[in-house]
């Protein structure tokens, strides 16, 4: 995937990095969010659809059209299919999937940049419990549907939000910035019917990059795959699933798909793995 001239300027030149430091300030991000949620921003919608060749079939369009750009960006689909086969793990979103083995006392690579799992989770003890496991990394492009769901049935045992500077998750950014260390992210630790636990994490991105997760009532900790977990407002975004050692068996059919740079195209709700017996 080719990066835009703007991203190359921001991340690969000294003047660009100076501009970037201004762009990621909270006040700038907040102002951008206000504009993208205003009526004035709705004029951007037709251009965005044309530029990214977005298929609008099956999309719920409000009477009178979308009220703002963010209303369009967080659009809903009228009908979807979810594989609800018992023990099946589904893709939580549309996007491009990378499968990574989590090595013991090492780091794993995401788009040519290495990250410590402890830094990603901000919890080294929790990271150690996932050594030898699998990481499913989903990259959402501008054309993708930006709502995501739970990937497996289970019970939420812990939730955490990690604040950070918002940076783009496009490949050019990953070459120069420790993106997962600096981006805001949220995750839940979920106990499933299979062995061990799964972590489902969302990562925001440049400018707004807002993560909008649905709050769980204190008395309700059970979650079902296919239930909407939340959505991203404007900005490139990433979803990550982490499984403990021997917890899942990957759907081998995924490897037969055409992709690029070891990324596999997936759709929200389709089977990507199966939980092993506990």
Which residues in 160-187 are b (16+ Cβ under 10 Å) and which e?
eebebbbbbbbbbbbeebebbbebbbbb
The alpha carbon of 61 is separated from its chain's Cα centroid by a whole number of angstroms, namely 24
Catalytic residue among 37, 41, 68, 237: 237
Distance (Å, rounded) from C-alpha 139 to C-alpha 98?
A: 8
Q: DSSP H helical segments within the chain, as ranges?
A: 5-12, 14-23, 26-36, 44-52, 69-73, 117-121, 124-128, 171-174, 179-182
SS3 call for 48: helix
Q: Are 130 and 243 in contact (CB under 8 A)?
A: yes
Q: Which of 228, 90, 198 is nearest to 151 (CA)?
A: 90
Catalytic residue among 94, 159, 246, 271: 94
Query: What number of residues does the chain have?
Result: 278
- Is 83 catalytic? The answer is no
Distance (Å, rounded) from C-alpha 197 to C-alpha 127?
A: 12
Q: Which of 189, 181, 179, 186 is nearest to 243 (CA)?
A: 189
First to last CA, the chain: 40
Q: Are 139 and 238 in contact (CB under 8 A)?
A: yes
- Is 237 catalytic? The answer is yes
Distance (Å, rounded) from C-alpha 73 to C-alpha 263?
A: 23
Q: Which residues are catalytic?
A: 94, 237
């Amino acid at each position: 995937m080719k990066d835009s001239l703007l991203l190359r300027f921001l991340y690969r030149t000294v003047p660009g990095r100076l501009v970037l430091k201004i762009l990621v300030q909270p006040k700038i991000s907040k102002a951008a969010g206000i504009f993208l949620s205003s009526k004035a921003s709705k004029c951007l919608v037709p251009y965005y659809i044309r530029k990214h060749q977005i298929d609008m079939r099956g999309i719920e369009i409000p009477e009178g059209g979308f009220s703002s750009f963010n209303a369009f960006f967080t659009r809903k689909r009228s009908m979807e299919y979810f594989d609800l086969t018992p023990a099946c793990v589904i893709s939580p979103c549309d996007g491009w999937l990378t499968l990574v083995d989590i090595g013991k006392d090492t780091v794993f690579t995401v788009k040519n940049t290495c990250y410590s799992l402890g830094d990603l989770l901000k919890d080294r003890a929790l990271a150690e419990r996932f050594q030898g496991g699998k990481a499913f990394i989903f990259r959402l492009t501008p054309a993708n549907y930006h709502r995501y769901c739970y990937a497996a049935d289970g019970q939420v045992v812990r939730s955490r939000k990690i604040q950070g500077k918002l940076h783009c998750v496009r490949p050019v950014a990953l070459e120069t910035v420790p993106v997962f260390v600096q981006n805001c992210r949220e995750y839940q630790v979920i106990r499933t019917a299979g062995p061990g636990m799964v972590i489902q994490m969302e990562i925001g991105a440049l400018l707004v990059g807002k993560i909008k997760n649905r709050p769980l009532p204190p008395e309700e900790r059970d979650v079902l795959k296919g239930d909407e977990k939340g959505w991203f407002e404007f900005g490139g975004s990433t979803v990550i699933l982490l499984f403990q050692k021997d917890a899942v068996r990957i759907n081998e059919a995924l490897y037969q798909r055409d992709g690029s740079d070891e990324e596999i195209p997936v759709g929200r709700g389709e089977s990507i793995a199966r939980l092993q017996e506990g």
